[in-house]
Amino acid sequence: MKLLEERIKKDGTVRDGNVLKVDNFLNHQMDMELFQEMGKEWKKLFADKPINKILTIEASGIAIAAIAAQYFDVPVVFAKKAQSINIAGEVYQTKIESFTHKRTYDVIVSKKFIGPEDHILIIDDFLANGCALLGLIDIVEQAGATIEGIGIAIEKGFQQGGKIIRDKGYDLQSLAIIDSMNENKVVFREQ
Amino acid sequence: MKLLEERIKKDGTVRDGNVLKVDNFLNHQMDMELFQEMGKEWKKLFADKPINKILTIEASGIAIAAIAAQYFDVPVVFAKKAQSINIAGEVYQTKIESFTHKRTYDVIVSKKFIGPEDHILIIDDFLANGCALLGLIDIVEQAGATIEGIGIAIEKGFQQGGKIIRDKGYDLQSLAIIDSMNENKVVFREQ
């Protein structure tokens, strides 16, 4: 998606350790006009899918998922990072390793909100090693629901997550895939 | 706001300890059509204010703020709950006590995204004792920005937060104010 690629070039900054800072428009301060265009793009890409619910994960996926959901006319469920779990039986639960924060989260979704009848679109802001996404996929599979597609804003194509997810057969649509980056240049994959 | 009050009556449940569960439409599964109507209502209530940015706090305020921001044509900044802080100088920082989770959070906002030139609308899903809101107000005041108004979805009018905030002179607009509640009945304040 050209609009997102151009915005990353204009406002993104690359830091040591393959960190891409996009906190001025994507995941701290957030540009709703950009999110609307992203939502429309996913609607085009998943136009033929019988999606009835969007699943994302707190915190930075929520706004992107919420804006996108308007174009699908569906509700959003967000997976919660739990401090401690003592509500066994009522929730789907998985573990997600965060390399950014160097810790493992328990992540939960109430069983009330996803079931075998659901056709889910998963939305998140970033895909790098794929840990968060694999956790969300695990939750949808526990629920017996169908994953109709996965929409990612920015994929770090030089990390393994995208390949792992595509090799599993999921319809993964990343709006910008970065093949390489350094302080001076960000190279996007042709799509 | 009648639509929200009716929805609380229909889908909310009251639990022991003055807990109102609205996780099927507000803060776990989220209804975008309802959020759109809430956004339009705040736009009406704050129509004459020169708002150029919305501030909220992760996680459950984010979707409400994002949808509302579309009616104001402004970006959203969300305050982050930090595990540990070692980026002094770059962020505004405050402490928020959570009675729900029985702990105190450090909450941060990058100094890049709020400054003296900003006219802020604060948006959040719940107002009870007011701790989260006082934390957000503290951040805006550290930045030297102007608070043009505060929009809350559900205020627990039988707790002290609303009175504290209004006594400070802020233009606080809660779309539903609950004066009392039990398992059988929720009583809303006339507005």
Q: Look at A79-83, A186-190, B87-91 and tell me which has the smallest mean pLDDT.
A: B87-91
Chain B CA closest to residue A101: B83
* Mean pLDDT in residue range B47-52: 98
Residue of higher predicted confidence among B77 and B101: B77
* β partners of residue B56: B78
Chain A CB contacts of B83 below 8 Å: 101, 103
At residue A2, the pLDDT reads 97
Chain B CA closest to residue A91: B28
CA end-to-end distance (rounded Å), chain A: 8
Chain B CB contacts of A23 below 8 Å: 110, 112
At residue A18, the pLDDT reads 84
Chain B CA closest to residue A67: B67
Chain A CB contacts of B69 below 8 Å: 32
Best probe of the B interface among A28, A60, A98, by most B CBs < 10 A, is A28
Helix axes B32-45, A62-72, angle to 10 degrees: 110
Q: What is the 3-state secondary structure (H, E, C) of chain A?
A: CHHHHHHHHHHCEEECCCEEECCCCCCCEECHHHHHHHHHHHHHHCCCCCCCEEEEECCCCHHHHHHHHHHHCCCEEEEEEECCCCCCCCEEEEEEEECCCCEEEEEEEECCCCCCCCEEEEEEEEECCCHHHHHHHHHHHHHCCEEEEEEEEEEECCCCHHHHHHHCCCCEEEEEEEEEECCCCEEECCC
At residue A82, the pLDDT reads 83
Distance of CA B54 to the CA centre of its chain: 10
User: B168: distance to nearest CA of chain A, Å?
Assistant: 27
* Mean pLDDT in residue range B104-122: 96
Per-residue pLDDT band at A176 (split at 50, 70, 90) = very high
* Mean pLDDT in residue range A26-48: 98
Contact A138, A94 (CB under 8 A): yes
Contact B177, B155 (CB under 8 A): yes
**pLDDT surpassing 60 at residue A88:** no
At residue A85, the pLDDT reads 54
pLDDT digits (tens, 9 = 90+) for A98-140: 877 778 989 999 999 999 999 999 999 999 999 999 999 999 9
Best probe of the B interface among A60, A78, A86, A125, by most B CBs < 10 A, is A78
- The residues of A whose Cβ lies within 8 A of any Cβ of B are 23-25, 28-32, 35-36, 58-59, 62-63, 65-67, 69-70, 73-78, 80, 83, 101, 103, 109-110, 112-113
Mean pLDDT of chain B: 94
Per-residue pLDDT band at B116 (split at 50, 70, 90) = very high
Residue of higher predicted confidence among B79 and A18: B79
**pLDDT surpassing 70 at residue A48:** yes
Percent of chain B at pLDDT exceeding 70: 96
CA distance B37 to A140: 30
